[in-house]
Amino acid sequence: MQRRRPVGWAHYNYPMDGFRVVRESWHIGDTWEVEASRIDRQIGVEYDSYRRVYLADGREWTIAGQIARDDGKKYYILECIA
């Protein structure tokens, strides 16, 4: 079942949900694989260019790496830093 965006929410304010995994809390050092197109288009994530961090789910993230899957899509591995 796909989650619907609440009425009045812009795309960039909608919580990022790369694989529809329900997670209540994130800790420093946790990693998250997210489709690169979501990061590139800033869907559910904001980029702070001054500090060079991504802001999503109430946490700060950096790109720790990237992988390519068999489906032909590229995924970023985000690491929680704060």
* pLDDT at position 42 over 80: yes
Percent of the chain with pLDDT over 90: 39
Q: Sign of torsion, CA 29 34 36 42?
A: negative
**The token pair that represents 64 in the structure block:** 């720790």
Give the distance, in angstroms, between the CA of residue 36 and the centroid of all CA atoms in the same chain: 9
- In this prediction, residues 1-26 reach a mean pLDDT of 54
> Can you list the alpha helix ranges (DSSP code H) found in 13-71?
36-40
CB 15 within 8 A of CB 32: no
Residue 21's pLDDT is what?
Answer: 54
